[in-house]
Amino acid sequence: MESVKNSFRALPFSILSFVFVSIFLFAQCQIYSDKEIEIQKFSLQPNKGQKLAAFAEGCFWCSEHIFESIPGVTEVVSGYAGGHTKNPNYELVNTETTGHAETVLVYYDPSKIDYAELCRIFFLSHDPTTLNRQGPDEGSSYRSILFYSSDSELKIAKSIQKEIEKNQIWKSQIVTEYQELKEFYKAEGYHQNFIKSNPNQSYVQAVSIPRYQEFQSRYKQYRKSTKESK
């Protein structure tokens, strides 16, 4: 033991400093990581004058960016819904064993946009005909789910689906699930506003931005065609 102590004392001060700093940073990273995986159930009570809706349509980075661009939407939160495991984190959801799907909670001003229009945006901003897949992402955590909070919302959502099918937007059959919104878990902090914070990230450049641009074009054309048909 004494020889070990002597060897430690013999180390240059610069090396000792490096060791201590490394240990400190590692400890800090561990503390940060622990906080990041402590996912808790998120409140489903909107602020006064707001309403909320929830949609799962593939990668929540993409969905968040799309809904944030819509006038009348006041806030979008990325998270997990539709599963059976308590307090799921990103790594656990990606095992495809929790039943959760990457979901966005959308807060909106009902005086500026209604629930029907948000459902319309949902069906136009992703391909609702691909089962357990959206673009390059595969697995049940990327499946299409429209969450509702009341019977009236369910009725509205299904009427919008019929509208989309009538206009033959998608060639294949829509496979979107309908689930009552019972729980929502907010995702880790680094997932929130991911595209705004990481505009040059490879997935963002290759998948998220093109998907956003495709949605903008499709939504603009759809609104134009429906107005002309009235």
CATH number at residue 183: 3.30.1060.10
**Would residue 33 count as lying in a domain?**
no
Please tell me whether the overall predicted TM-score, pTM, comes out greater than 0.85 for this model. no
Span 212-229, pLDDT tens digits: 999 999 999 999 988 777
Task: Read off the tokens for 128.
Answer: 């609702």
User: Is the separation of the CB atoms in 138 and 94 below 8 Å?
Assistant: no
Q: How many residues does the chain have?
A: 230
Which residues form the catalytic set? 59
**Would residue 78 count as lying in a domain?**
yes
Bridge partners of 134, per DSSP, are 137
User: Is the separation of the CB atoms in 56 and 147 below 8 Å?
Assistant: yes
Q: List CB contacts of 186: < 8 A, sequence separation 6 or more.
A: 39, 40, 42, 77, 78, 79, 105
Span 87-114, pLDDT tens digits: 999 999 999 999 999 999 999 999 999 9
**Would residue 34 count as lying in a domain?**
no
Measure the CA–CA gap between 109 and 115, rounded to whole angstroms: 10
Q: How many domains is the chain built from? A: 1
Task: Read off the tokens for 67.
Answer: 């809904």
pLDDT reported for residue 40: 80
**Would residue 19 count as lying in a domain?**
no
**Would residue 46 count as lying in a domain?**
no
Measure the CA–CA gap between 225 and 156, rounded to whole angstroms: 21
